[in-house]
Each structure stands twice: as C-alpha cells, then as structure tokens.
Amino acid sequence: MSKDVVTVERNDPLTVADDLIMQKHIRHVLVLDAYGDLCGVITKRDLFRGAVLRSLGYGQRAEQMLLAKLLVKEAMTEDPVTVEPGASLTEAARILIDKGIGCLPVTEDGKLVGILTEGDYVRLAVGKLAKSSPKNA
C-alpha cells in the first residue's frame, strides 16, 4: 500500500487529473469531496478519450480545451470499492480480480489512508523473485 496518495477534488477540471497522471506516471487518482472524504476514482483509462480525439485529428490543443471544460466528477467512477488497512493481501487481491479493477483505496473509519494497486503486487512479486533467484543465493 502506498500512503502517498494523489488526489483531486470532484469539481477540479479534468486537466488537473490528466496533468497529475502524466507528471507522476500513475494510473489512478482518488477524488475527494468538499469535506475531504473519498467519493470517486479517476483513471488513465477514463482520460483515454483524449487520445481518441487526437487520433480523429482534433489535436492536443483541442483535447486540453475539452478536458478544461469538463469536471472530474463528470468522468470519475463514484463510490469506489475500498478496503480496510487490516485486510490481507490475498483478500485485497481477490477483490481486485473479482471486481476487475486496478486499485483499491484504503480507508479507515471512512477516511482515506492509502491506495493499493496492481503495481504494488507486481513490485511484491519482483521482490520475492529477486530474493529467491539463484544469483542472490
């Protein structure tokens, strides 16, 4: 789980989320409401439509103009599936697989404390593989 969670507010323009995803090389940004409570998630896939606009010949400037006109709340997935900090890695992985999602916000008493992503599992697997490698013996 990463405790360094990238967030936006639901009324931010989509350009804010798009910029964060591009600059930080991430795929998921969590969305907070005016009270700081988790209310959604916006993904790189949600923003993929901009690439479709470019491929149709509208160009990057047109994409940025469109994203600036739309708000995060208009593209986000509301009420994301979450997990508590005490959940096992196996339980969390099962949720990711069963729901077909790429991230699980981690909440405690309704407050956001972290995020668990598919990438976390890949890093865990790579670490275990490296430790069991004959080169490291």
Q: Is residue 87 part of a domain?
A: yes
| 61-114 per-position pLDDT tens digit | 766 777 777 889 988 999 999 999 999 999 999 999 999 999 999 999 889 999
The answer as to whether 12 is a domain residue is: yes
Tally of CB atoms within 10 A around 53: 17
- 122 in a structural domain: yes
Q: What is the CATH number of the domain that holds 48?
A: 3.10.580.10
Q: What is the pLDDT of residues 44-67, one digit of tens each?
A: 888 776 555 555 666 667 667 777
26 close to 75: Cβ distance less than 8 angstroms: no
- Flag whether 2 is in a domain: no
* CA pair distance 40, 71, nearest whole angstrom: 13
Q: Is residue 1 part of a domain?
A: no
State pTM to two decimals: 0.82
Residue 36 lies in a domain: yes
**Could you list the residue range(s) of the whole structural domain that residue 72 is in?**
7-136
Number of domains making up the chain: 1
